[in-house]
């Protein structure tokens, strides 16, 4: 059996999107499962749109997900270079071979002429296809054209009839009429290759056995198959992944929220959660299992179980899943990650920054509740903001003003007397207050929560007071008393 070799081949024209990340992941899982090789290839031949920055970002994002490649631009390998702009001569060589075989030809049409043709097609509401003018030029006409346009492009001479069948591992056979294929450009007049040609030559030279990519490329596959045929090269296998849709069943886009992977990283999603979630976006092991470690995915993944139907992106499920992975962290791991989000908000004083015990207490308090790390400052802002505001209305929903006044002054006394400021002592004294005033815990704790945190929902109350400290707690109760007097 030939060794499995797959590739992820991004065009570095922008950020890595969720769809691209999923394609990379499926390639990675498939290669690891089959003890194969995973290759990163940068398709940067469109030099007007490719940037170094995008290459760096894509590499960073893939590394963050933990999808490490065996061959690629930064790690090398025996089939390099792995950036298409460094392989230009190779494409030239195969283009020459196609020319020799009359499976390609020089096209002398100028961009003006082509624009005219395109315009005409648009007016007639038909899809543009090159009219093959230069395919059938006589030798003499060619010489004349060559003089007028010494920098011709090279076009593929597509078969004019018959069908090309794409045998797709996920969707079975798909027929394409060759007359629809178009004599597409393989080498531009500036000498650079186009995507369909460069990708095909590279997939061959890099000995790619399985091409797993988004189904937005399905219409390119018959073109690529025709190139393999013209050059007499062995065909790889193909698997096209269905689209990812938003909840409204339209293709996932900015309208649905963040689509770039780095936005998820920055918001505080964990790579483990992202990998798990993306794996399920178009693949399922069975109808029960939701959580998979990367190793479990490698063990269980198969193309047979990849769905033909589009997957629907559900941010709520991702958030829920991320919460699960956050809860699985140790408190110290969670603290390490969460701390950054407090710092970004400007929340930690110099002494708090260094007080690991205090910080871990704080993080332990909210770890169960947080779904995305960026929510952390919201949960604990009452510890850092000096002017915590509460709504009188919210207070009056629980207690009448007069009762609240009595509650706060008694609570003040109960707390003021504490010589050791710990959650157990705080709890004991405040529970004592419930009995004394003959009020339910809710009627005592909820108003206190409100004036301390400004919110009706907060981390556990006694721990919150402990973290806030005696002085500030008393101060807030005093202020509340003033406000309702």
Applying CB under 5 A, among 134, 170, 303, 311 the residue interacting with Zn ion is: 134
For residue 183, the partner it binds in Zn ion, ligand GLU, none, with Cβ less than 5 to 8 A by kind, is none
Q: CA 156 to CA 117: how far, in whole Å?
A: 18
Applying CB under 6 A, among 5, 155, 217, 449 the residue interacting with ligand GLU is: 217
For residues 407 and 433, the answer to whether their CB atoms sit within 8 Å is yes
Instruction: Decide if 374 is catalytic.
Output: no
When the beta carbons of 12 and 152 are compared against Zn ion, the nearer one is 152
Say whether residue 107 binds Zn ion (CB under 5 A). yes
Question: By C-alpha distance, which of 455, 472, 466 is closest to 427?
Answer: 466
Q: Before 71, cis peptide (omega within 30)? A: no
Binding track over 43-82 against ligand GLU, x by CB under 6 A: x---------------------------------------
- Identify the burial level of 387 via C-beta atoms within 10 angstroms of its C-beta, where 0-12 means exposed, 13-18 middle and 19 or more buried: exposed
For residue 107, the partner it binds in ligand GLU, Zn ion, none, with Cβ less than 5 to 8 A by kind, is Zn ion
Q: CA 58 to CA 466: how far, in whole Å?
A: 44
Q: Buried (b) or exposed (e) across 282-309, using 16+ Cβ within 10 A? A: bbbbeeeeeebebeebbebbebeebeee
When the beta carbons of 54 and 95 are compared against ligand GLU, the nearer one is 54
Say whether residue 239 binds ligand GLU (CB under 6 A). no
For residue 217, the partner it binds in ligand GLU, Zn ion, none, with Cβ less than 5 to 8 A by kind, is ligand GLU
Choose the stretch contacting ligand GLU; rule: CB under 6 A; options: 9-17, 412-420, 446-454, 460-468.
9-17
For residue 470, the partner it binds in Zn ion, ligand GLU, none, with Cβ less than 5 to 8 A by kind, is none
When the beta carbons of 80 and 214 are compared against ligand GLU, the nearer one is 214
**Marked catalytic residue, from 123, 125, 249, 254:** 254
Q: CA 330 to CA 324: how far, in whole Å?
A: 12
Choose the stretch contacting ligand GLU; rule: CB under 6 A; options: 4-12, 157-165, 183-191, 304-312.
4-12
Look at the chain and count its residues. 485
- Identify the burial level of 228 via C-beta atoms within 10 angstroms of its C-beta, where 0-12 means exposed, 13-18 middle and 19 or more buried: middle
Say whether residue 11 binds ligand GLU (CB under 6 A). yes
Q: Before 476, cis peptide (omega within 30)? A: no
Residues making contact with ligand GLU (CB under 6 A): 9-11, 43, 199, 213, 217
Q: Which residues are catalytically annotated?
A: 254
């Amino acid at each position: 059996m030939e060794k499995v070799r797959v590739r992820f081949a991004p065009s570095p024209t922008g950020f890595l999107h969720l769809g691209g990340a999923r394609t990379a992941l499926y390639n990675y899982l498939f290669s690891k499962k089959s003890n194969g090789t995973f290759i990163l290839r940068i398709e940067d031949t469109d030099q007007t749109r490719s940037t170094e920055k995008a290459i760096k970002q894509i590499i960073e994002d893939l590394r963050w997900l933990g999808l490490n490649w065996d061959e690629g631009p930064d790690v090398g390998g025996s089939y390099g270079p792995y950036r298409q702009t460094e392989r230009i001569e190779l494409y030239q060589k195969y283009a020459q071979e196609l020319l020799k075989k009359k499976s390609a030809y020089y096209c002398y049409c100028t961009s003006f002429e082509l624009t005219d043709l395109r315009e005409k097609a648009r007016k007639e509401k038909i899809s543009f296809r090159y009219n093959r003018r230069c395919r059938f030029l006589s030798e003499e006409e060619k010489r004349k054209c060559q003089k007028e346009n010494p920098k011709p492009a090279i076009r593929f001479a597509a078969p004019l009839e018959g069908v090309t069948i794409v045998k797709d591992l996920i969707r079975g056979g798909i027929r394409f009429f060759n007359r629809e294929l178009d004599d597409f450009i393989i080498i531009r007049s500036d000498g650079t290759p186009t995507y369909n040609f460069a990708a095909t030559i590279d997939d061959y030279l890099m000995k790619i056995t399985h091409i797993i990519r988004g189904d937005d490329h399905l219409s390119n596959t018959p073109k690529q198959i025709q190139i393999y045929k013209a050059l007499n090269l062995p065909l790889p296998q193909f698997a096209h992944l269905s689209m990812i849709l938003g909840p409204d069943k339209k293709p996932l886009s900015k309208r649905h929220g963040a689509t770039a992977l780095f936005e998820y990283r920055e918001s505080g999603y964990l790579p483990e959660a992202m990998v798990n979630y993306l794996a399920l976006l178009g693949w399922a092991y069975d109808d029960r299992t939701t959580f998979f470690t990367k190793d479990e995915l490698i063990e269980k993944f198969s193309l047979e179980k990849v769905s033909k139907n589009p997957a629907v992106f559900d941010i709520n499920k991702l958030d829920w899943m991320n919460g699960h992975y956050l809860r699985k962290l140790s408190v110290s791991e969670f603290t390490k990650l969460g701390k950054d989000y407090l710092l970004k908000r400007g929340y930690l004083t110099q002494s708090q920054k260094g007080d690991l015990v205090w910080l871990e207490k704080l993080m332990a308090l909210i770890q169960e509740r947080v779904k995305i790390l960026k929510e952390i400052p919201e949960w604990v802002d009452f510890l850092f903001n000096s002017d915590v505001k509460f709504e009188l209305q919210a207070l009056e929903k629980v207690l009448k003003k007069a009762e609240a006044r009595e509650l706060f002054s008694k609570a003040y006394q109960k707390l003021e007397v504490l010589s050791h400021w710990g959650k157990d002592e705080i709890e004991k004294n405040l529970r004592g207050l419930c009995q004394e005033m003959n009020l339910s815990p809710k009627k005592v704790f909820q108003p206190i929560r409100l004036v301390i945190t400004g919110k009706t929902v907060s981390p556990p109350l006694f721990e919150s007071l402990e973290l806030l400290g005696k002085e500030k707690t008393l101060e807030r109760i005093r202020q509340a008393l003033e406000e309702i007097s």
